[in-house]
Structures are given as C-alpha cells and as structure tokens.
Structure 1
Amino acid sequence: MKLSNIIGHGEIIRALCRAVEQNRVSHAYLFAGPEGVGKTTTALAFGAALLCRQPDFGDACGQCRDCRQAAGQNHPDLHRIAPQGASIKIGQIREMLRRITLSPYQGQRQIFLVEQADLMTQEAANCLLKTLEEPPAGTVLILISDRPQALLPTILSRCQIFTFHPLPPEQVAGILKRETDVSREELELLARLIGGCPGRVVRLAGMNGGYFGFRQKVVDLATGLGRASVAEAFRLAAMVAEDKELALAYLELFLLWYRDLLVWRETGAPGLLFNQDHLSLIDREARLYSRTRLLDIIKEIEGTRDSLLANVNTRLALEMLFMRLAGAA
C-alpha cells in the first residue's frame, strides 16, 4: 500500500508523491486507462499517502495506524464506491455526499474512490457534479475508469487527469513474479499475452488451471465455434455470459487469437504472434479463413467488448457474437 512499491507509471507516481509532499493536493482526480493496468492499486496507495500522519517524501510511511488500516482496507476515512449490479446508482452517490458532509474520523481528510466511474447513471453523474463544483475542504475524490470518454465532459473538466498506459514486458514480468507463482518459463509468454495490463493475470491466477488453463478454454472455444451449430453457439454464449468480468476476459483473449490467425495468414512470421506456443494450431486454423473474414471477426469482437463495457445485456451481446461466429470457418 505504498506508491514506491508500484512497478511502472513512474511519472504519475512522482507527481502524486510531489502533490502530497508539497500539500498541493487536488480535490478530484481521474485515473484513466485500460483495465488491469494498475489504476486501482495506485489509487489505494495514493489514498494511504494522503491519510498517513507522517508521510515519507510524499509516500505513506507504512508503519503508522492510518497506514496499517489503509493496508487492511478498514480505514474509516477511505471509502470505495463500486457498481451495484450493472451501474453506480444515485443512491450510492447521495450516501457518499452525506458522508462528505461529516468530519473525518481520524485525520484531516476523507478519501473517496469511485471505481468504474463511467458506469454511473445519468442521475448519479449529475449528483456527483454538484460536489465537484463546490468540494468540501479535506475531501479528495478519485474516479477510476477504463472508459473516460463515457464520463460527462463537465466531470472531466473538474478533475486532474492521469492516464495510465500499458506497461512494457519487463515491468509486467516483475509484477507477475511478485504477485503470482508462475514459472520463469511462463513469465515471458504471459508478459506478451496480456498487453501490458498485469491485473488481468493476477485476477485469473487463482482460477482452477490458472491463466494458462483459462487461455486454453478460450482457444478451445474459439476453434469450436468455427464448427458449431447456431444452437450450440447459443448454449456456449449462455455459459460464458454467467460472469460479465469473465466474459470480458474471454473477449480480450479472443481478440489476441483471431489477431494471431490474421497475422500468421498474412506474414507467416512466428515472432509477431502472441500465442507462439500454439503455432501448429494457428497454422491449421488460419488456413480456414479469408483475410476479410478475419478482419470482420475482429471488428465484431471489438464491438461486443465495447457493448459490454457500455453495460448492455451480456447474454444478448454474446449470443449475437457467437451466432455470427458459428460455422464461420
């Protein structure tokens, strides 16, 4: 729970530490960037630094009562607001505003993290905007979003924005080595597969079979869909749609798989592939598709992913996608 322990995002970390050290903290921040890149981890560490009684060069000391409570996620002045169901509702924002009017329990600040802020309803966003216009002293709001373009422009204009970019493979490998128990041989492949967003692997690492087991399910599903009937496609869509976050993970790996088929078909260069350990299968599957069809499939998957992020019905969106992919080969 310290900014100095975060791998990567050096310029952002330095700017946040400098703001704490110089006591020039904004009332509202937006941490924007792809899912799994480290936004929430950084927000929690920043919150700990803001609450720390004796910050060390703008970072949390890690030893005081406030730091221990922040690390244990039980600090009474560090609040997290996340979607309830499909959205962040106006009742949640009203409850947050009620808390803002109260004095901090322990220190001089209250920190509010609004996760997946782009999923606020219109009413909730408008309610939050009133607070951003006249923020109470000692309140710091940190909005976290994978899709900042979905937020109201008036909200964006009132936040200090930090954009998180995918990490280079060597930094991803460092995080995975620290956070998971994957073998040394798997690190390089994982660092290439996850597109600079290690949080995706960390979340899937605890699943039965781990990340590679999950990827194999995705590969089996992709190859099977190309030969499936429409009825089978609907059955598979219902299975994947049971967990929206897992469905998004399926779609991200779908994109890498069909991208590899396209790249191999057009270049025949193994070094350009993400799934290099599946070269023989990629070679066989790529022969079944035309260039145009692969481009269409990639666009359809991207559209479905964007629809899920925009909070459409998960099962309906996957049914439409899987029906288009059924028998595609």
Structure 2
Amino acid sequence: MNNWSFEAVDKLQPVAIKQIQSIIQKKRIGHAYIIEGAKGTGKVKVMQFFVQLILCENPTENVPCETCRSCKRLKSNNHLNFKEIEPDGQFIKRGQIDDLIHEMSKTAIETGRKIYVIHHADQLNASAANTLLKFLEEPQSEITAILLTDRMHALIPTIRSRCQHLSLAAMPQSVLKQRLVEEGITDSMASTVCRMTNQVEEAIKLSKDEHFGLARKSVLKLVEASGKSVQDALMCIHEDFGPLLKEKEQAEQALDLLLFAYRDIVAIKASNVAVCTYPDMIHYWNQVALHTTYEQLSKQLEIILHAKQNLHKNMNRTLMMEQLMLNLQEVFTFV
C-alpha cells in the first residue's frame, strides 16, 4: 500500500471516512462495496483506509494503529489476506477473476477477514463481470470485495445491486488549489483552474496548457477594455480572440472565463473577503464594483449566459462576441 495519512484522507473525504468508521464500529462489514468517485477524489486512499481499519489489530478511536503486525504487512504489500487486481491492458479479463476467486477460496493462512480490491472495475469485460457476479451472489462471511470506479454506470446493474455504495465528494476547491500550488502552479492560475474542474490531473494539465493561458489573459484584457469603451472592447476581440473562437468548445471556455470575471465582481461587491477566480484582479474588481449596481451586474451575467446558449446556433462567433460587448455596454444606458 502507498503511504497515506488519516489526517489527509479525512480532510479529503470526511463523509466517506465517517461512513467507514461507523461500519467498523457497528461491526457491520458487508461482503461487497463500490467506492465511486471522479479522478482525483482519493478513491485509492479511502480504500486503503477502509482495508487497514478492517484488518488492524489495535485500532484507536476508529483509526488504524499503524504499528501492529497487520498494519505493517499492509504497508509493505505483504499481507496474505489482501489481494488487488487491475486491468490487464484495456480490460480486466476472466482469467484474472478466476485466479482471484481461487485465491479467496483457499483456507486462510492469516486469521481474520480476506479482502480483495478491483481497481477500475468498470473495465471488467463481459465474461469477467459475469464470473465475478456469480461469486458475489454466493457471499462468504469472511470475504469482502471492494470495487473502485469513476464510471458507476459502466458496471453491470446486477453487480451494482450486490454491493453497498460509498460515493466520494468532489475535491474541495481549497484542497485542489493547495495541490496545484504544490505542483508549482501560481496562486492566481490555480484559483482559476479550480473553477473549471475538480479533478487533479485535468487541473494540472489545464494550468499548463498554452491555449488556456492565452484564453485567461485575453478575457481579462477584454474585461478591462470594455470598462474603457465599446471601441476598445471590439478592438480587443479582433486582435486577441481569433484563436479562441475557432472551435465551439474553445469559445465556450472563453465565455465561462468571462462569466467567472463578472461573478468575481459580484462577490467582491458583496464581501471584501470573497474567494475569487482571478485573485490577481481583485484591485481592479474593487474599482468596478464601486461603480456598478447589483442590478447591472445581474443583467450582465444574464447576457453572458445568453451568449453561451447562442453558441449552439450556427452563427458567426466573432459577430456573437461583438454583440455581446454591445449588450454588456448597453446595461449602463438602460438599467
């Protein structure tokens, strides 16, 4: 097992950890569980906590002791009652499940419960899934299965129905942001990326993507330009937004970034300790907030959301952005 700490996993998934502790405390360990969560939510760490708490010989306040023989064997990947399997290539194959069942059906050398874990359980091929299902349908009292997946719907319904479910929450933005900063990403970029995704791998990739960096820079330039005049905003669109409007997905990303900018202004107007998507723009947001009413900001948010809906229509995206800027400016005339 990889190194993990109770403090870290409890901070990441406090609800799931309390559920697991309740299961152990009430001595109601089931024969099969599915731990479901998106990438980056800590499925493996939650599983490791669960397994170690089940097998620990001297838990303290529902936390593994880390020092007993069982805990040490798990940490060194040397516990005879614990087995893990992962996909062999693209799928988990029947032969892997046959071998697993054979191992689980042997007389235990170690005392206590046997536990097997199937990583990426959604990648069971049809034959492997049916073989596993038959094993789950005849549960043995001292064997527990833990299936990990980020695609619950890809598991066959009959397997899902045989398992108890532990659903993991999306990673809190504060935790994700700290992870990104530890990866060397700037505080301002980390704050922005956290609004776009709650998955660590995707967030790191996005923060290092040149196109995303250009989109962020161009959107902030556009907001500042629109604060000066419509002409400056239109010039910004023609000079900087060409690459951002080529594909619908890229244009939608740019509009999301624009929407977050105006949400920042609303948040700053409501509280001087607001958590912003663009912390590097707080000084400017404060200036805008002083001269803009809630009604005006609300209307501007509606206009941007309407522009996002128009992306699904076959219209020229540059013209759409030009009209968006005109509509945002008109708010100050008619509101």
Normalization by structure 1: what TM-score? 0.63
Query: Contact 1:172–1:191 at 8 Å: present in 2 too?
Result: yes
2:191 corresponds in structure 1 to 188
Pick closer, same or farther for the CA change 1:266–1:22 going to 2, 3 Å: closer
Q: CA RMSD in A?
A: 3.8
The residue identity in structure 1 corresponding to 2:145 is L
Query: Per-residue deviation at 1:199?
Result: 5.8
1:157 to 142, 154, 161: 161
Of the two, which has the highest radius of gyration? 2
1:80 corresponds in structure 2 to 84
Query: Per-residue deviation at 1:155?
Result: 1.0
2:93 to 77, 89, 94: 89
Distance in 2 of aligned mates of 1:277 and 1:59? 41
Query: Per-residue deviation at 1:87?
Result: 1.0
Query: Per-residue deviation at 1:188?
Result: 3.2
Pick closer, same or farther for the CA change 1:124–1:170 going to 2, 3 Å: same
The residue identity in structure 2 corresponding to 1:216 is E
Query: Per-residue deviation at 1:95?
Result: 1.0
Distance in 1 of aligned mates of 2:257 and 2:192? 17
| TM-superposition CA deviations, 1:82-134 (whole Å, max 9, x none) | 11111111111111111110234433122211111111111111111111111
Identity %: 25
1:5 corresponds in structure 2 to 8
Pick closer, same or farther for the CA change 1:174–1:264 going to 2, 3 Å: closer
Aligned residue runs from structure 1 range 164-175, under 5 A: 164-174=168-178
2:253 corresponds in structure 1 to 260
Distance in 2 of aligned mates of 1:67 and 1:267? 46
Query: Contact 1:49–1:58 at 8 Å: present in 2 too?
Result: yes
Query: Per-residue deviation at 1:194?
Result: 3.5
Normalization by structure 2: what TM-score? 0.62
| TM-superposition CA deviations, 1:194-236 (whole Å, max 9, x none) | 32x33655xx6xxxxx8743x3377689x979779xxxxxxxx
The residue identity in structure 1 corresponding to 2:41 is V
The residue identity in structure 2 corresponding to 1:262 is L
1:269 corresponds in structure 2 to 262
1:142 corresponds in structure 2 to 146
Query: Contact 1:55–1:61 at 8 Å: present in 2 too?
Result: yes
2:103 corresponds in structure 1 to 99
Query: Per-residue deviation at 1:11?
Result: 1.9
Pick closer, same or farther for the CA change 1:21–1:270 going to 2, 3 Å: closer
Distance in 1 of aligned mates of 2:211 and 2:58? 48
The residue identity in structure 1 corresponding to 2:140 is P
Pick closer, same or farther for the CA change 1:186–1:96 going to 2, 3 Å: same
Distance in 1 of aligned mates of 2:252 and 2:243? 17
Distance in 1 of aligned mates of 2:153 and 2:35? 12
Aligned residue runs from structure 1 range 98-117, under 5 A: 98-117=102-121
Query: Contact 1:3–1:13 at 8 Å: present in 2 too?
Result: no
1:130 corresponds in structure 2 to 134
Distance in 2 of aligned mates of 1:263 and 1:176? 21
Say yes or no: does 1:28 pair with 2:22.
no
